[in-house]
Chains A and B, each alone.
Chain A
Amino acid sequence: MLMRLLWKEWRESLWKLGFGLGTSVAFTIMLFRIRLFPDMANCAIISVAQLFVIPVVYALDLFSGEMSNGTIHLLFKVPVARWKIFLSKYLMAIGCVGLIFMSTGGLMEILGHGREAEPGMLFRMNGLFAVCAGVVLAWFSAFGSQSRSEAGSLVALFGVVVGWGIVWFWSILCKVTWAFYFVPYTFALWAVEPKNFELSRGLFWATQILLMGLALSIACYRYVKIRRVL
């Protein structure tokens, strides 16, 4: 049944994948051809733009779409556990976001081959941003899984982005090193300045995976209990 749900999500979000891929590829080709910025800076610019655009595109109607269309009543009548419905949505979103980032990273590697950046560096940087996007999407799910409209989803995502931003600023300002382990944007820092990344990588990964699991658990719980807002 999960496969069928995934197939449904795939069909419904295919245009988002097309949009994400189309725009990412177009902007990557343009920036790498005109070389307005060096390749690494180009990669950073594209990755940052993707980090804030692609999750928004997916988040806008990932959960709220079913509610605003009224299809959630039909979906919940299907004999399948609700957590599977949630999981299919999140997995498809994260998979497509990952695919978009990977394709862009691969394209950047091809276009920048033999130029400024060392082999693999562009793909690596874009990949770390992809992980960051995945974590942001997980946190969005925790807050936006009960959104009934696009506006609600947008506010939830905005809250997540700004909220972690405030924590990030605080950790930088107060030099609270341990707080970096919790902030998803640390992936972006790692990607841009690998030389100055002084955190324990294993611990950082472990913390992020744990937090992501926590966020997804909350999101799943809220989605399962969605009857309250229907």
Chain B
Amino acid sequence: MNTARFIHQQVFQLKWHVLACLALIMGVPLEEAVVNLHAGEGFHSSSLTVVTLLLGPLLAALIACANVQADLDEKRDAFWRSKPVAVWQFITGKFFIGLILAMVILACPILFMWITTALTAGTESLVAVRYLFLVIPLISVLTYSVCFFCNVLVRKTARAWLIGMAIACFVLLIPFVLPLNIKDVAADLVMVKWFLGSIVAVTLGLAVLSFWGSIVAVQRNWQIHTHLRGLLWGGAGLIFVVFLLFSRQVANIKILDEKKLSAENMVMRFDKRGGKLALSSGFQVETRNNTIDLKPINVFRTEYAKLRAEIEPLGIPDGLSGGQYPYESDIYCQIGTDHYALRLFVYGQTEEVTTEEGELVKRSFHVKHAYLLCWRDVEAGRVAVSHLNLSEYLKEDDSMSGIVLRVTKDKVVVLIQDHCLVIDMSQPDSPVVIEDKPLKRSFVFGGADAGVFPVLPVESLDPQDRIRLSIGLASRYQHRGGKVVINEESDPVSYVLVSHSGIARYEVTGFDDKIITLNRRDERPFTLLETLFGGVEGYSRNPYFIQDGKLYSWSGNKLMVFDVEGPRIRKLGHFERMSYKYAIEDVKVVENGNILLLSRHDDKQGETFVRTGFLQLLKNPE
């Protein structure tokens, strides 16, 4: 066999298919590049090339089918078999020439993207998608080989293509179908090397098997007669079984019970009454036998006014205005068996700086008086316990605004102006300031290097609490693009950063009196499905918390639960109410581990909005 002529003949035979595939795969990247050029961003393509790369496996399979069909249809088959050429040589040549052409087609958009991006924007933006340059050709090799084999057997292009693609998809889905305890596709695929390795091995193995099978099938002239009807039914049945098995492997949060809330429960927040979970409108929430029970709290008296009368006997002083921290609800702590609610009341002056035209430039609040108020939280209400005057720590000329209040076991840490105060609450009726340290401006307003945090200058706190507080305060300035959630139970201290792109876990690797050093231990990107239909980051004030090693993250209409304590971050469950009229308001984990979720639904009826509330009990995913 004259190899050069054979190659020429084979390439010539496929030229129209190759050109058509090139046009298909290069159309969109060229389009994007032209658009970018018009937008002044230079002639380059990136995001849409990645999308079109997904067409690669389909086109490789198309080339395979065309390649086989060109020589194995009835008349040509008889023709080339009459020539003095070994069947295995002929098929091997055909197989590899077609494969190389398919890879050339696939390489075109990749090279185009790489070169144009490198020349205009730099290749840093391609780092995130570099794994696709390996995965897509690998899958393409699989689809090419399998479709080649199928067409050798079936001898009908369209059917062989469909059967080949179905087999290739099935093989790629097998790892998720088998009981390998895979729940989180994103984490398992990216993080587990053996898993990825086994997929590569199976893919290449099947490709080699298909190649070998093709040679045998042509040598023995095997043919299978197919019917479109049977193929479609068989394919649909196969996909159905795969889906059914796949769904068992993927986590989902089940609804155990659901209650519609009446108008009086429309304050959509969980609260505590005597240490028990309640709706802020005054209903105690009980969850027994996977059902929700709402019990009205008949006698509920709060002695807010009593304490306020003590700190402001003549009302708010003239010229000052009052404020509370936290604004929405109290901060709770448990001392002994009793539950206490704390809140900081501040009084000060609001200063406004305006331009000559009267336009507001800056508004600041200068604190003149501050009081820490404490109530005991009992089922029947709030009993006034104590108040602590912190005004003596305030300066007249305060350049630093912002108040922070944190509770650690029996101590309360207050950051106000340039003071860091530690208050001992072990005797709630007589709280005492046990430490007062000056707070450096750099601590509050940033200045920390990446991976290094300044330590809060207090010594009366437990080291772990001190680290957690320091991270909690300083990380706001290090991770401006995301939300930091500190794991209050982990050892070593760790926190999770939730951003638009995904979740990352950081762990403390060392600390001294001045700095804490951290390392990023793990990260997990959000999948397309997780970012679809509403973002991951919510508008609620505290849409994330960690409890028992699980991160509960919720946004407007979705709740996701992640395991953040295991060797890698994995998603355990996903709950979503996909409607822009729905919004999750609050989430709590109840004693038996289930999740309580408060959500609302606003429906526009004419000119008015009608609000309906839902209280749902969800099974906590494991």
| Contact flags A110-151 to B (C-beta < 8 A → 1, else 0) | 000000111001000000000000000000000000000111
Q: When chains A and B are docked, how far (Å) is the Cα of A34 from the Cα of B582? A: 21
Given the known A-B contacts A61-B228, A116-B582, are A26 and B24 also in contact in the complex, defined by CB atoms under 8 Å? no
Q: Which residues of A contact B229 (CB under 8 A)?
A: 15, 19
A188, chain B: closest CB distance, angstroms: 14
| Contact flags A38-71 to B (C-beta < 8 A → 1, else 0) | 1111000000000000000100110000000000
- Report yes or no: A149 in contact with B35, Cβ–Cβ below 8 A: no
Q: Which residues of B contact A57 (CB under 8 A)?
A: 232
Residue B48 at the chain A interface, CB threshold 8 Å: yes
B48, chain A: closest CB distance, angstroms: 6
- Report yes or no: B28 in contact with A169, Cβ–Cβ below 8 A: yes
Residue A2 at the chain B interface, CB threshold 8 Å: no
Residue B157 at the chain A interface, CB threshold 8 Å: yes
Q: Which residues of A contact B537 (CB under 8 A)?
A: none
Main secondary structure of the interface of A (DSSP, over half): helix
- Report yes or no: B228 in contact with A162, Cβ–Cβ below 8 A: no
- Report yes or no: B157 in contact with A36, Cβ–Cβ below 8 A: no
Q: When chains A and B are docked, how far (Å) is the Cα of A59 from the Cα of B247? A: 31
Given the known A-B contacts A30-B244, A117-B579, are A173 and B236 also in contact in the complex, defined by CB atoms under 8 Å? no
A61, chain B: closest CB distance, angstroms: 7
Q: When chains A and B are docked, how far (Å) is the Cα of A222 from the Cα of B250? A: 49
For B55, B243, B244, B578, the residue with the greatest tally of chain A CB atoms inside 10 Å of its CB is B578
Q: When chains A and B are docked, how far (Å) is the Cα of A30 from the Cα of B252? A: 14
B76, chain A: closest CB distance, angstroms: 16
- Report yes or no: B35 in contact with A173, Cβ–Cβ below 8 A: yes
- Report yes or no: A150 in contact with B252, Cβ–Cβ below 8 A: no
- Report yes or no: A40 in contact with B579, Cβ–Cβ below 8 A: yes
Residue B27 at the chain A interface, CB threshold 8 Å: yes
Q: Which of A35, A118, A173, A174 contacts B48 (CB 8 A)?
A: A173
The size bracket of the interface on B is 35 or more
The size bracket of the interface on A is 35 or more
- Report yes or no: B24 in contact with A162, Cβ–Cβ below 8 A: yes
- Chain B, 41-63, CB within 8 A of any chain A CB: 48, 55
Residue A166 at the chain B interface, CB threshold 8 Å: yes
- Report yes or no: A38 in contact with B576, Cβ–Cβ below 8 A: yes
Given the known A-B contacts A36-B247, A173-B48, are A154 and B158 also in contact in the complex, defined by CB atoms under 8 Å? yes
Residue B545 at the chain A interface, CB threshold 8 Å: no
Residue B170 at the chain A interface, CB threshold 8 Å: no
**In this complex, what residue of A is CB-closest to B35?**
A173
- Report yes or no: A41 in contact with B240, Cβ–Cβ below 8 A: no
Q: Which residues of B contact A154 (CB under 8 A)?
A: 158, 161
**In this complex, what residue of A is CB-closest to B254?**
A35
- Report yes or no: A151 in contact with B31, Cβ–Cβ below 8 A: no
Q: Which residues of B contact A116 (CB under 8 A)?
A: 577-579, 582
Q: Which residues of A contact B31 (CB under 8 A)?
A: 166, 169-170, 173
- Chain B, 522-555, CB within 8 A of any chain A CB: 529, 532-533
Residue A4 at the chain B interface, CB threshold 8 Å: no
- Chain B, 305-360, CB within 8 A of any chain A CB: none
Q: Which of B243, B244, B533 contacts A40 (CB 8 A)?
A: B533
Q: Which residues of B contact A22 (CB under 8 A)?
A: 236
Q: Which residues of A contact B533 (CB under 8 A)?
A: 38, 40-41
- Report yes or no: A166 in contact with B232, Cβ–Cβ below 8 A: no
Given the known A-B contacts A27-B243, A40-B578, A149-B158, are A166 and B236 also in contact in the complex, defined by CB atoms under 8 Å? no
B439, chain A: closest CB distance, angstroms: 46
Q: Which residues of B contact A103 (CB under 8 A)?
A: none
Q: Which of A26, A37, A149, A151 contacts B576 (CB 8 A)?
A: A37
Residue B580 at the chain A interface, CB threshold 8 Å: yes
Q: Which of B24, B48, B157, B247 contacts A151 (CB 8 A)?
A: B157
- Chain B, 569-613, CB within 8 A of any chain A CB: 576-582, 603
Residue B32 at the chain A interface, CB threshold 8 Å: yes
Q: Which residues of B contact A121 (CB under 8 A)?
A: 579
Residue A217 at the chain B interface, CB threshold 8 Å: no
| Contact flags A7-19 to B (C-beta < 8 A → 1, else 0) | 0000000010001
| Contact flags A168-184 to B (C-beta < 8 A → 1, else 0) | 01100110000000000
B2, chain A: closest CB distance, angstroms: 31
Residue B273 at the chain A interface, CB threshold 8 Å: no
- Chain B, 202-258, CB within 8 A of any chain A CB: 228-229, 232-233, 236, 240, 243-244, 247, 250, 252, 254
Q: Which residues of B contact A34 (CB under 8 A)?
A: 247, 252
Q: Which residues of A contact B532 (CB under 8 A)?
A: 41
Would you list the 9 A-B pairs with minimal beta carbon distance, nearest first?
A40-B578, A150-B158, A151-B157, A38-B576, A151-B158, A38-B578, A23-B236, A154-B158, A116-B577
Q: List 14 A-B contacts (CB under 8 A).
A: A23-B240, A27-B240, A27-B243, A31-B243, A38-B576, A41-B532, A41-B578, A60-B228, A116-B579, A117-B579, A121-B579, A149-B157, A170-B31, A173-B31
